[in-house]
Amino acid sequence: MIGKHIKGKSFRGLLNYLFGKDGARQIGGNMEGTNPRELAAEFGISRRLNPKVSRAIYHASLSLAHKESLDDDTWDEIAQKYLQAMGFDMNQYVVVRHTDRTHEHIHIAASRIQLDGTTVSDSWDDRRSEAVIRKLEQEYNLQSVQPSWEKDKHSPSTGERRHIARTGEESVRVKLQRSLDQATHDHPTMPELIERTQQQGINVRVGYTRTGIVKGISYQLDGVAFSGTHLGKAYTFPGLQKHRGVNYSPKRDDKRIQKLMEQAVENPTLAVLPKQDDKRIQKLMEQTVENSTPAVTQTNSLPIPEPTNWEQIRLKLSQQYNLPNSLLTELYEKGWLYASQTGQAIFVERTLDDLPTLAKQLEPTGNFTAIPLNSEPTKKGSFWIATDATVERAVLLSDPIEVLSVIALESTVDKEKRKPTLYWSVDDSEQIPLEFLRAIDTVVIAFKDNEKFENLIAEILAELPQSKQVSPGQIGWNGMLTLSKLQLRKSELPQPQRWEL
């Protein structure tokens, strides 16, 4: 027996599909309705118990091997046992049998919201579904098939599972996997797959070597990017061909792929930290776009860059804050840090998809003044840097100087022990990219002044259960960087609490 399942938003849309097939008939369930309109109204009862769950529908299909057959009562019994084993103990559901294929199969439409208002978790649901099907095959003497999940799809992280259990919402990783599964069901060509994903709001980037050979593929949705490897081997470029049946011919497809990528919205450019050498910090990011001058969006309220003042600002930041020159230079070339006409350092805040939203001006006192961009007054961003396109850890800090200080401190750690990290400065809770952070196992709250940010810290801990709080004390991370530059003995340095760098 083969089982498939997805989650959706529209009960009425699914029911119209299930009942719209020729020969479709309702063979089981625990609901009174007998048509899409009546059943959708009943499902609305459970939806109102937890309106925060956007994907409240669980749609499963169970199919027999060719030449196998079951009567309606047995199918209904199997559907009940399947749902119970998947955790649907107090949920509305209906079973519909289809006869439009050569193999017998049923569809189950169920509400993920239980009658007590809680949501059925979908953690590890692919593996649990396969295990349940194996038991049902044995119980009903049905033909067995090899599990489909083995090694071709990465399971949700701990953070993703916590988020799903709490809200019922799919993580971006799971959304991408599900969308790619659906888009490859009929073995499309690679350009056709890219077109389909673009229509779903997914941005696909295919990387090529200088000799024109494909070296990888990545996907972006809702401002969050994953490489094919981090989704699972079935979603890498060769994996799409081997495991998902995508057809690819370089001579036929490469020009079309390039054209599709040119038409798509650019992916967010994440800073990438390359290998370190004995100088500690050589470069923070690989240049993905050549920039000869800082690329800063100009509005009436944004300070105008003055290149002739940059060396003065770089020297000040290097001497006063002990920040590495190579790091400052990379930020300047990216347009994320520059000098104003009045000789002040300007840090540019951005959204996760790299859209400038705000400028932070460093004052002589060491404080920051916010300068909003008129072009995007409603967007919320932050001054942030990521050390890889796919991050496994996030550190929340109080201002841009603290961000750069922690990067400088952590760059001295053995690269084998460092996790790809997003460093994110925070002023208020609206700046925090919760959807992104919920999918990350480790979130570190590392403000230098816990009393000042007491309420904000409480909000973050409530929203992100996997987060942990550490503090460098009043000295701050920049103070620790300064002390390290003075080459004090390690035992004399203030130690971060419960944080292994």
Rounded CA gap, 447 and 467, in Å? 13
Q: Find, among 93, 96, 79, the residue nearest to 23 by Cα.
A: 96
3-state secondary structure 84-105: HHCCCCCCCEEEEEECCCCCCE
What digits encode the pLDDT tens for the residues 165-189? 556 566 788 888 888 988 888 889 9
Task: Note the pLDDT of residue 293.
Answer: 38
The 10 Å Cβ neighbour count of residue 494 is 14
Burial 150-162 (b: 16+ CB within 10 A, else e): eebbbebbebbbb
Rounded CA gap, 445 and 441, in Å? 13
Task: Note the pLDDT of residue 285.
Answer: 34
Mean pLDDT, range 241-270, rounded to an integer: 78
- List of residues 6+ apart from 15 with CB closer than 8 A: 36, 39, 40, 94, 109
Q: Give the pLDDT band of residue 145 (cuts 50, 70, 90).
A: low
Instruction: Please tell me which residue, 455 or 313, carries the higher pLDDT value.
Output: 313
Rounded CA gap, 405 and 481, in Å? 6
Rounded CA gap, 177 and 232, in Å? 9
The 10 Å Cβ neighbour count of residue 313 is 21
Q: Is the pLDDT score of 256 beyond 60? A: yes
Characterise 495 by phi-psi region: left (phi > 0), alpha (psi -120 to 50), beta (else). beta
Are 204 and 194 in contact, with CB atoms under 8 Å apart? yes
Torsion (CA) 480, 484, 485, 486 in degrees, nearest 10: 100
Are 322 and 485 in contact, with CB atoms under 8 Å apart? yes
Eight-class DSSP state of 32: S
Mean pLDDT, range 221-225, rounded to an integer: 76
Task: Note the pLDDT of residue 499.
Answer: 35
Q: Which residues pair with 371 in a beta bridge?
A: 359
What digits encode the pLDDT tens for the residues 79-108? 999 999 999 989 999 999 998 877 899 999
Rounded CA gap, 61 and 109, in Å? 9
Rounded CA gap, 319 and 155, in Å? 46
Q: Give the pLDDT band of residue 487 (cuts 50, 70, 90).
A: low
Are 57 and 41 in contact, with CB atoms under 8 Å apart? no
Taking the CA of residue 495 as centre, how many other CA atoms within 13 Å lie in the half-sphere pointing to its CB? 8
What digits encode the pLDDT tens for the residues 14-46? 999 899 888 899 999 999 999 999 999 999 999
> Helix, strand, or coil here: 6?
strand
Task: Note the pLDDT of residue 294.
Answer: 41
What digits encode the pLDDT tens for the residues 339-351? 988 899 999 888 8
What digits encode the pLDDT tens for the residues 204-216? 989 887 778 888 8
Task: Note the pLDDT of residue 151.
Answer: 45
What digits encode the pLDDT tens for the residues 384-398? 998 876 788 999 999
Q: Give the pLDDT band of residue 501 (cuts 50, 70, 90).
A: very low
Are 253 and 240 in contact, with CB atoms under 8 Å apart? no
Rounded CA gap, 464 and 158, in Å? 12
Instruction: Please tell me which residue, 124 or 57, carries the higher pLDDT value.
Output: 57
The 10 Å Cβ neighbour count of residue 446 is 23
Task: Note the pLDDT of residue 418.
Answer: 76
Task: Note the pLDDT of residue 165.
Answer: 58
Q: Tokens 């004399």 sit at which residue?
A: 492
Rounded CA gap, 342 and 263, in Å? 39
Rounded CA gap, 311 and 82, in Å? 67
Burial class (CB in 10 A: 0-12, 13-18, 19+), 42: middle
Task: Note the pLDDT of residue 112.
Answer: 94
Ordered by where they begin, the domains of the chain are 2-150 (3.30.930.30), 172-263 (no CATH), 307-492 (no CATH)
